[in-house]
């Protein structure tokens, strides 16, 4: 007898799903384990980063999906609307519905019961799946998701898994991280440049690379310094620059550079653990740290007082890191970079360059990047 998990994975494969992001749920641990053996999968630290990673995968030509539980859907809302929906990127979200069907954990009930209405309120589509016989019928919907660049939720009843024999055994031996192997941090020196000057110094090293730039003024400054078809300019979804870059890097052989910021990384720091775990050799993250929220009024971030982003990246397991604070040092850091993932912590002075808005529409930005990534 075929388990319901096997039927669903078979449907995913037939519909073209070829990249998966997952977060654990006790009800579907067997599904996640089986799926990882069939479809390239990336475990997440938080649902929101999965939306960014899947957006990057879609830019690189993949057909991505997520497997999460209903309690985590709330963590995805802004990225769903201001990233994948806004840029018309495809995403199928398979949701293990909690809070219904004899749920024993009361805290699961509010989100689980509200989920269909919440999805509808966002103007997104969903399919309720209560029986494994429905899996074959969702193939056409899945294909439309990828053909038309849509977001669709498949909300799966807990009753689906009640008769399943698919199990999961945690790995017996996991080698713990040895902090000593990460080595010492770079010396901290006083910043000399604003972000704009760092971008000018880094610009020659961005040529013919896929570049994902943090939202707001950083994207405007990058456009002014070095516009190229391979630049993905973010207009929303703060905290998603590194996840998008990771999603691209995992699905292309091209070099990928993320230009991120301190405020953005502090919003979603767990992504650095996902980067370390996935360990793409073609990914460089330039974290321009000016100790402020530069696009929202210049309020200070915690990096101005008590957080060292290089130490954070090292602590999450990224081995190759460097701290720079001058044009000469960032040129040196980018001239002969080590194997990725590579984290460049650029200490900068606060302040923005007065430059006009990016004059390219968001769908044209997407199309240019996709065309670049399609080129061999």
Q: DSSP letter for 303, please.
A: G
* Phi, psi dihedrals of residue 135, rounded to the nearest 5°: -60, -45
pLDDT along the chain (376 residues), means of 10: 86 96 92 93 97 98 97 95 97 95 88 95 95 88 96 94 71 64 78 95 97 96 97 95 98 97 96 97 97 84 92 94 96 94 96 94 98 91
Let me know: does 229 contact 372? Beta carbons within 8 Å.
Answer: yes
* 20 neighbors 35 (Cβ within 8 angstroms): yes
239, 323 in Cβ contact below 8 A?
A: no
How far apart CA 74 and CA 115 sit, in angstroms, is 9
CA–CA dist 226, 206 (Å, integer): 8
Is the whole model's pTM more than 0.75, yes or no?
yes
Q: What pLDDT is recorded for position 174?
A: 66
Domains and CATH numbers, the chain: 4-161 (3.40.50.970), 183-374 (3.40.50.970)
Q: Where are the beta strands (DSSP E) in the chain?
A: 19-22, 41-43, 64-69, 91-96, 125-129, 151-156, 210-213, 231-233, 256-261, 283-289, 292-293, 299-300, 320-324, 342-347
Q: How far apart are CA 46 and CA 68, in angstroms?
A: 10
318 alpha carbon, distance to own chain's centre:
16
pLDDT computed for residue 177 by the predictor: 63
């Amino acid at each position: 007898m075929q388990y319901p998990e096997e039927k669903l994975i078979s449907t995913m494969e037939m519909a073209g799903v070829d990249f998966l992001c997952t977060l654990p749920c006790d009800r579907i641990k067997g599904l996640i384990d089986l799926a990882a053996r069939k479809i390239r999968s990336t475990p997440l630290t938080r649902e929101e980063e999965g939306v960014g990673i899947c957006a990057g995968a879609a830019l690189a030509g993949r057909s991505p999906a997520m497997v999460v539980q209903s309690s985590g859907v709330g963590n995805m809302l802004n990225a769903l609307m201001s990233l994948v929906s806004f840029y018309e990127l495809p995403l199928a979200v398979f949701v293990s519905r909690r809070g219904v069907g004899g749920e024993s954990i009361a805290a699961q009930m509010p989100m689980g019961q509200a989920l269909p209405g919440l999805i509808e309120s966002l103007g997104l589509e969903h399919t309720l799946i209560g029986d494994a016989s429905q899996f074959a019928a969702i193939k056409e919907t899945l294909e439309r998701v990828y053909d038309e660049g849509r977001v669709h939720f498949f909300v799966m009843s807990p009753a689906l898994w009640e008769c399943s024999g698919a199990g999961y055994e945690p790995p017996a031996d996991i080698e713990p991280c040895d902090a000593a192997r990460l080595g010492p941090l770079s010396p901290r020196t006083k910043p000399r440049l604003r972000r704009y000057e760092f971008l000018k110094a880094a610009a020659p090293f961005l040529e013919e690379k896929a570049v994902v730039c943090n939202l707001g003024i950083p994207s405007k400054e990058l456009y002014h310094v070095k516009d190229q078809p391979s630049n993905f300019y973010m207009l929303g979804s703060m905290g998603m620059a590194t996840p998008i870059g990771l999603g691209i890097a995992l699905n292309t052989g091209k070099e990928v550079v993320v230009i991120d910021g301190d405020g953005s990384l502090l919003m979603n720091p767990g992504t650095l653990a996902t980067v370390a775990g996935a360990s793409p050799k073609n990914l460089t993250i330039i974290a321009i740290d000016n100790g402020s929220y530069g696009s929202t009024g210049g309020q200070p971030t915690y990096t101005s007082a008590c957080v060292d982003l290089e130490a954070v990246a090292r602590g999450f397991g990224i081995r190759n890191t460097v701290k720079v604070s001058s044009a000469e040092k960032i040129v040196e850091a980018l001239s002969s970079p080590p194997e990725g993932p590579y984290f460049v912590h650029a200490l900068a002075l606060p302040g923005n360059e007065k430059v006009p808005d990016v004059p390219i529409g968001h769908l044209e930005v997407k199309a240019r990047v996709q065309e670049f990534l399609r080129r061999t």
